[in-house]
Structure 1
């Protein structure tokens, strides 16, 4: 293959980046501008034009999927094997380096790599050995602390005791963890990178060997690199001026997990002879969508600056919908999806993007109700999430202490010091005497078969469950759920987790309370001779929701995902929902300029996922954190030029005839009774409320009402017996 064939399918900016002289280069690749294409063709250029052997090229990215795609595309382009090439993730390449030089890295030849679950189990065991209370020092918090230090290149021996008790205790655990890993020949993911950096830094001959070997080093998604990753790259390329990085400062959205946007700016200082090339032609979206993205991101400071453009045509304007509340928002989105499908569009071309995982519940329920297959991308459905299942287990056990599955799930969540031996003995006793675990526990306590510490821990748990049952007598469903969630200790447990993950779990628990408040309970609809209580019906509903299967990855289905998960993906039809200050941007970021700018970059990423149509929605009222909020529309919406937006107005009149029928009459008479939006009504059970909207026709007609005492409910008009006020 000659030089012309390598670059003849590229645009001018791509061609310039691919064929530039071998030197330090920063390629600012805008969303949808073909960055992977540039990396692959740059590798081909080095091999075919610059005559660099494949084994002398190092190409690094962040995911195994991206690395595999790069390998396949290089092989297809050059018709050669990439087996000898160093193409892989940071962790994969670091592991390869350590395997080849384990002795110099001071590791045993058969060292074992731990995944995050293995690492967490090791930390739990370590805390137990150190006799450290893991309720005060949660293992996940310890894991986060250790990994954060390693990602900054910091060993325990580098850290001085500053007198702070938290810091002192974490330092003690970190040192003990390092010692345990050394004795056991264990390496965690963060250690792979740190140890690989130290290997090169502390072995000059080895460093010079690899500097000479890797004549060209190429890096994908450079804006996502952390401190130790960039330090490793600098070691390999220092003095050679041969680092080629592709990234986008406007798509740096992972600061919360250690990514340093500053690396893009530092690159220009560390490699003063560098060249910058901007890829601004977008091959994904229409002009209106790109202009909206450009307008939003222009409000950030300290950008390197670029303007996305496309020759795909102007396209449709962005659609903005103002919903009454989160239920109306979900109703609107799903109706638009159904119209798309009715017109022949594929479900797999649709994405619903949200800032918080807790937002998925409303859309899941509506999609399920209307029979539209969906998939939660990169996550679990709402009622399948760990924190939700834990909360539901507390509720189940408080109503039925003989529920063994719930007992097993939460007996040590949060940790109470009930050991494995105690639980094993309890299981054996339950099996031998045909008892529930609860009864077996009562038996062991009565017979004083446990140590004082174990007995106190077990008794404390059982008293908590009994107290929950007592405290919730007479409470409404949402009050019951709220009380159990707060009293169980789950909220405090998850608040101690790593920042974003812990916040998400707490938000999900608060959304569970909201789900309970909005739960539509109608005992008259039950066919059972002994109707279930509202709580039992809610628990049954949750079990059925969790039990329903998601669509397979290969099935034509709507994709639901967080904005963070959407990076790198594209869809013809995109809904960005919950566009409200306090939700997006998040409440934690509105007063922090650095975090607010990252939220704005996240908005830019969301907008640029859309290829043909983009809907932006926000609600006038939303129930969050157990309270009704009346949020302002997101400041990001106000940053989009008005000429790019078409505002979808709510119907001024949703009047429909109310036509009850009598089965005893051969000639049906229709009593015309119109309910308009805003109509004040009274229901014999739920009290006074206001009509929000109606849907359906005939016997299937429903009306949505905001009741003063019980919140929003959908009722069948034919049976509701509503009275105008």
Structure 2
């Protein structure tokens, strides 16, 4: 083992990293070095010969965290990182379902619906069932379906004691049937389908239990009931579950997270070692004193007290404004004072809890003549022009994807109006087929659209991934459409063209980073990237 591997760890970190082969819970306070502990634990297990790289399963909550873990490990160990299973719950379930798509009753090229696509699919189902979208708001139905799946419940398992809930269950059941017909899955379905597959397929379950001797989980306090059951299933009765989390940072209950999973872990896995990482390397003493004082009021804490070797730092100030306008005015006066003291605007950051708050703040900044830049907003794969391009690629890969077809059948405009699309949907319902099958039997402009998709598919069959995308962008008419924009729309169209060019670059980078020149894999990557950002947006 490399002797430098453990150097610089404080005593609790060292204890966590070098634990015997057993399940453990590491209570890691904010800024206490939990990522270092997780990655060093993996490196320690591999370098001491306790497990091969193939015997590790590491679960994170974001793609960024997974990439950071891989980067750190590659600097620690001279091994090929591709053998390691490190990723998010959804990413790992996608990987497993791709490997066993037949057993999971999915097509090989199944597509992943992001939040927007899922909502569109639900609206289609509600329209088919004549469900009143004022009495049953589609986003409420979306949350109901996702919430049920995150509890591990199919439509026929949801308890419905009243007509209102029974109607929501009907939509859930029909939505599931529609997704199965189209060969698409939403984010919650990835995990539920994977859990069901492992539950019913003993040989497959035993294969992965035998393989993954060590399961490590980041941000364990954010796991929901189904995620915990999935981890238990893979751990079986003999594998080690090493969970890192902080009950004091559990803020996603609205999204189904259950901090009670920490107590269940202690009981289910007979955890003897609860290690507390309490030394903070991020903040000064005054901030930690305030944080400790506030969090001490929480009930049912597992208990820890953050401390730092740093000095107190600046004292904290709290200003309680009577309303949002006064709050914005106070912030502007603070910015002006700092600026007059020589602090550059580029060195100031303004944080707010929800996007809805930005309007008042931006108005105050503009009124004060202060230049600013908003970070966040739409991510790359959520942009309209990118979703159009991806819809062409999805439909080429999976002709049963009705969502993709509806997005692009008349984009760019090709003379297929709302009435023609309604007739197409009626024909598909009557014949119990997908929209693409119904379109293939139609005539005129609808048939020409089918011909376009089939021509794109046949022309790109042997091309590398970046060239597939470049071909589709040009021959679908998307590039010409944006190039033809004039007047006020010209500047916006130019930005959209730049983003479409960036999509080709993104595909090139994907091939380089993943060593996969595969359209299905790229489409999954794009959906997982978009979906991760949207996971918390349903409030």
Q: What band does the TM-score fall into relative to the shorter chain?
A: 0.5 to 0.7
- For residues 109-148 of structure 1, the aligned pairs below 5 Å read 109-148=108-147
Judge conservation of contact 1:28–1:279 (CA < 8 Å) in 2: yes
Deviation track 1:384-413 (CA, whole Å, cap 9, x = no partner) reads xxxxxxxxxxxxxxxxxxxxxxxxxxxxxx
Instruction: Find the residue that maps to 1:178 and give its secondary structure.
Output: helix
Structure 1 CA distance for aligned equivalents of residues 23 and 345 of structure 2: 43
Q: CA deviation at 1:349?
A: 5.1
Task: Report which of the two has the higher share of helix.
Answer: 2
Tell me which residue corresponds to 2:236.
238
What's the secondary structure of 2:147's corresponding residue? helix
Distance change (3 Å), C-alpha of 1:191 and 1:325: closer
Q: Mark the structure with the bigger radius of gyration.
A: 1
- Deviation of the 1:215 alpha carbon: 1.3
SS of corresponding position for 1:168: helix
Aligned-pair CA distance for 1:343: 4.6
Alpha-carbon offset, residue 167 of structure 1: 1.2
Match of residue 220, structure 1, among 218, 221, 224: 218
1:495-554 deviations in whole A, cap 9, x for unaligned? xxxxxxxxxxxxxxxxxxxxxxxxxxxxxxxxxxxxxxxxxxxxxxxxxxxxxx9xxxxx
User: Which of residues 359, 362, 366 in structure 1 aligns to 2:360?
Assistant: 362
- Alignment CA distance shift 1:347-1:27 (3 Å): farther
Quote the residue 1:276 is aligned against. 274
How much has 1:353 moved relative to structure 2?
Answer: 3.7
What TM-score does the superposition give when structure 2 sets the normalisation length?
Answer: 0.67
Secondary structure of 1:321 counterpart: coil
Q: How far apart in 2 are the matches of 1:88 and 1:128?
A: 37
Distance 2:158 2:232 in 1: 24
In 2: Cα distance, 1:161 partner to 1:301 partner: 32
Tell me how many residue pairs correspond in the alignment.
386
In the alignment, the residues of structure 2 paired with residue 325 and residue 183 of structure 1 have an alpha-carbon distance, to the nearest angstrom, of 51
Q: CA deviation at 1:269?
A: 1.0
The offset of 1:217, in angstroms, is 0.6
Change in Cα spacing, 1:357 to 1:181, as seen in structure 2 (3 Å) is closer
Report the counterpart of residue 696 of structure 1 in structure 2: none
Q: How does 1:417-436 map to 2 (within 5 A)?
A: 420-421=418-419
Question: d(CA) in 2 for partners of 1:328 and 1:37?
Answer: 42
Are the structure 2 counterparts of residues 251 and 154 from structure 1 closer, same or farther at C-alpha, using a change threshold of 3 Å? same
Given that 2:148 and 2:158 are in contact with CA atoms closer than 8 Å, whether structure 1 keeps it comes out as no
- String of CA shifts for 1:239-267, please: whole Å, max 9, x gaps: 12400111110000011111111111111
Report the structure, 1 or 2, having the larger strand content.
1
* Mapping for residues 564-575 of structure 1, pairs under 5 Å: none
Establish whether residue 267 from structure 1 lines up as the match of residue 246 from structure 2.
no
| Structure 2 counterparts to residues 233-312 of structure 1, below 5 A | 233-312=231-310
Q: TM-score, normalised by structure 1?
A: 0.51
Q: Equivalent residue for 1:525?
A: none
Give the conservation status (yes or no) of the 8 Å contact 1:241–1:271.
no
1:310–1:98: structure 2 CA closer, same or farther, 3 Å change rule?
A: same
For structure 2, the residue ranges without an aligned partner over 5 or more in a row are 379-416, 423-494, 496-539
Structure 1 unmatched runs, 5+: 381-418, 425-548, 550-725
In structure 2, the CA distance between the partners of 1:372 and 1:55, relative to structure 1 (3 Å rule), is farther
* RMSD (Å), alpha carbons: 2.4
Q: Deviations over 1:317-342 (max 9, x none)?
A: 21233556544432332332344445
Alignment of 1:125-524 (within 5 A): 125-162=124-161, 164-321=162-319, 323=321, 326-343=324-341, 345=343, 347=345, 350-379=348-377, 420-421=418-419
Q: Is the 8 A contact 1:224 1:261 kept in 2?
A: yes
Shift of 1:91: 0.4
Cα distance in 1 for residues equivalent to 2:156 and 2:273: 39
Q: Distance in 2 between the 1:103 and 1:422 partners?
A: 35
Q: Does 1:77 align with 2:54?
A: no
In the TM superposition, what whole-angstrom CA distance separates every residue of 1:122-180 from its partner, at most 9, and x where no partner exists? 11221222222333322222211111110000011223542x11111111111111222
Mapped contact 1:219–1:244 kept (Cα < 8 A): yes
SS at match of 2:173: helix
Distance change in 2, residues 1:324/1:200 (3 Å)? closer
Name the SS of the counterpart of 1:83 in structure 2: helix
